[in-house]
Amino acid sequence: MSEEIMVSILSMLPPKSVMRFKCVRKSWYSLINNSSFIAKHLSNTMCNKHSTSILCKRCVLRDINTDEKEVVCSLISLSSNSNNDEHHIHSVVEDIHIPLSFGVMTRGQFKGDEVLLAVSIIGHCDGIICLVASLNIVLWNPAIKEFKILPNQCLPNGTLNSMAFGYDPKSKDYKFLNIVDPSEETLGEHRIVYDLPRIEVYTLSTDSWREIKTYSLETETTMFWPMFYQMYFNGFCYWIGCEKQKDFMDYFDRDDEEWVRQVIHSFDMSNEVFDHILLPNSLYLYEPLARYFNMHVILWNESIALFGLYSIGGPDAYGVWVLNNFGSQEGSWTKLLTLEVILGIEKELVFWKSDEILMVGKDGRIATYNFKAQTIKYLPIDSMFPENSEAVICVNSIVSVTPEKQRA
């Protein structure tokens, strides 16, 4: 067998099989650790459109007698096919317990609602899941059972607030962002914001933190605050955030006065600069508090899109808007869909196809719903706290969170 054929075969195998072949011979060990082979394997994995993998965090009851709970991450593999008017979903679910080495206890010691603070999924990129477990920031590739706890941050009192994780295609490196709220003070009925948010960036190859400039988060009269992190795609991270006035703000009526408008924030992972895109014009008819509620930045057929619950002159409905001219602050949007509200749903988790969304019901059952066929399929898993459930689309890769291994 030629080396080219051997490399081609290895690059199409699942991660567990590839890692086993490291033991065959030294040359294979070096090949599998080589960055070019890792990139080839990742490309092949991402081109596989036959099924979709989703990592779902949920809370389950471990012992009915003691009311003890635990946090479980479930890897859900979904595939679909349509025959005539019928729509079929095939699902495989594998529970993956979070390693105790993460520094967070997840198994059976929680009582009441304290389990809600145990661990959160921040995001995913190239098979690496980013978690916050207690006060630890963890990069985890469950496919190769490898993880890394990040060192302490560089900013003093830099509490974990609005975070993001993604890939810098220019430097070929992974980065983690933490946005620290600016200092503020309340004077009587007014609040003064003294500074912009501060941004610290962790780079995987150097295993270190640094602070970056935030000039791109302000104009002469306003400041931009990335608030709710959404996703990473093609070198950019995205948040739902807002624009706020720099001047004095009335403390008691701040929800009406300090919010100028809701925006989508983007961050260029290579140039490390923020930008913003206006939401569809119709959404600015919302009351200030409601206009960002339940809005999500999603990927729709490889395009940036907005999905969420809204109500404008009628009953609540879901809407999907696709961004036409990425890079323009005017944010030209085309509304593609208006969908009826699905009764009994507590939370939308993630789109895994253009017509399929994973959701969790008020009763805790997790299901996938097809908009076109208007069918729902319940999966064999549930969650005790549906509002705390989280999910992210992921790929099974051999990308290491220990850079020196990739250079071996």
Beta strand segments in 279-353, E: 295-300, 303-310, 317-323, 333-340, 345-353
**Range of 12-21, 70-79, 201-210, 366-375 with top mean pLDDT:** 201-210
Determine what percent of the chain is predicted with pLDDT higher than 90. 36
Write out the DSSP string of 11-40.
Answer: TTS-HHHHHHGGGT-HHHHHHHHSHHHHHH
- Tell me: the pLDDT tens digits for 39-77? 999 999 888 777 899 999 998 877 677 677 788 889 999
Residue 408 has pLDDT above 50, yes or no: no
- Tell me: the pLDDT tens digits for 174-200? 999 998 876 665 666 666 555 677 899
Residue 36 has pLDDT above 70, yes or no: yes
Token representation of residue 24: 């065959």
Task: Measure the CA–CA gap between 123 and 350, rounded to whole angstroms.
Answer: 12
pLDDT band at 254 (very low <50, low <70, confident <90, very high): very low
Give the full edge-to-edge strand order of the sheet including 136-141. Answer: 119-125, 128-133, 136-141, 146-149
Mean pLDDT of the chain: 82
Task: Measure the CA–CA gap between 355 and 290, rounded to whole angstroms.
Answer: 26
Residue 216 has pLDDT above 70, yes or no: yes
**What is the arithmetic mean of pLDDT over 118-140?**
90
Name the nearest CA neighbour of 265 among 277, 257, 255, 256.
277
Residue 405 has pLDDT above 70, yes or no: no
In degrees and rounded to multiples of 5, residue 80 shows phi and psi of -140, 155
Length of the chain, in residues: 408
Specify the pairing of strand 273-278 against strand 259-268: antiparallel
Token representation of residue 134: 């207690």
Q: 125-134, 213-222, 257-266: which has the minimum mean pLDDT?
A: 257-266
Residue 117 has pLDDT above 50, yes or no: yes
Is 181 or 363 the better-scoring residue by pLDDT? 363
Residue 132 has pLDDT above 70, yes or no: yes
Residue 290 has pLDDT above 50, yes or no: no
Task: Measure the CA–CA gap between 313 and 315, rounded to whole angstroms.
Answer: 7
Q: What is the pLDDT of residue 342?
A: 82
Stated pTM of the model: 0.87
**Range of 245-254, 294-303, 314-323, 396-405 with top mean pLDDT:** 294-303
Q: Which element (helix H / strand E) includes 17?
A: helix 15-20
Q: What is the pLDDT of residue 34?
A: 87
Name the nearest CA neighbour of 77 among 64, 98, 91.
91
Residue 172 has pLDDT above 50, yes or no: yes
Q: Give the three-class secondary structure for 8.
A: helix
Token representation of residue 221: 């009269």
Residue 262 has pLDDT above 50, yes or no: yes
Q: What is the pLDDT of residue 291?
A: 43
Residue 205 has pLDDT above 60, yes or no: yes
- H-state helical runs in 232-295: 254-257
Task: Measure the CA–CA gap between 173 and 9, rounded to whole angstroms.
Answer: 26
Q: Give the three-class secondary structure for 232.
A: strand
Is residue 140 within 8 Å of 125, Cβ to Cβ?
Answer: no
Task: Measure the CA–CA gap between 346 and 403, rounded to whole angstroms.
Answer: 40
Specify the pairing of strand 190-193 against strand 249-250: antiparallel
Q: What is the pLDDT of residue 252?
A: 45
Q: What is the pLDDT of residue 156?
A: 72
Name the nearest CA neighbour of 318 among 276, 381, 369, 242.
369
**What is the arithmetic mean of pLDDT over 351-355?**
88
Task: Tell me the β-bridge partners of 250.
Answer: 190
Name the nearest CA neighbour of 51 among 110, 91, 15.
91
Residue with tokens 């610290």: 200
Q: 144-148, 179-183, 342-346: which has the minimum mean pLDDT?
A: 179-183
Is 349 or 327 the better-scoring residue by pLDDT? 349
Is 397 or 222 the better-scoring residue by pLDDT? 397
**What is the arithmetic mean of pLDDT over 144-168?**
86
Q: What is the pLDDT of residue 207?
A: 94
Task: Measure the CA–CA gap between 123 and 164, rounded to whole angstroms.
Answer: 7
- Sign, CA torsion 251/257/262/263: negative
Residue 379 has pLDDT above 90, yes or no: yes
Specify the pairing of strand 317-323 against strand 333-340: antiparallel
- The set of residues, in sequence order, having a beta carbon less than 8 Å from that of 36 and lying 6+ positions away, is none
Q: What is the pLDDT of residue 289?
A: 44
Q: What is the pLDDT of residue 345?
A: 87
CA dihedral 154, 266, 395, 41 (to 10 degrees): -90
Q: What is the pLDDT of residue 69?
A: 76
Task: Tell me the β-bridge partners of 120.
Answer: 132
Name the nearest CA neighbour of 113 among 387, 366, 392, 391.
387
Beta strand segments in 142-272, E: 146-149, 162-168, 173-180, 184-187, 190-193, 198-203, 208-212, 222-233, 236-245, 249-250, 259-268
Q: What is the pLDDT of residue 35?
A: 87
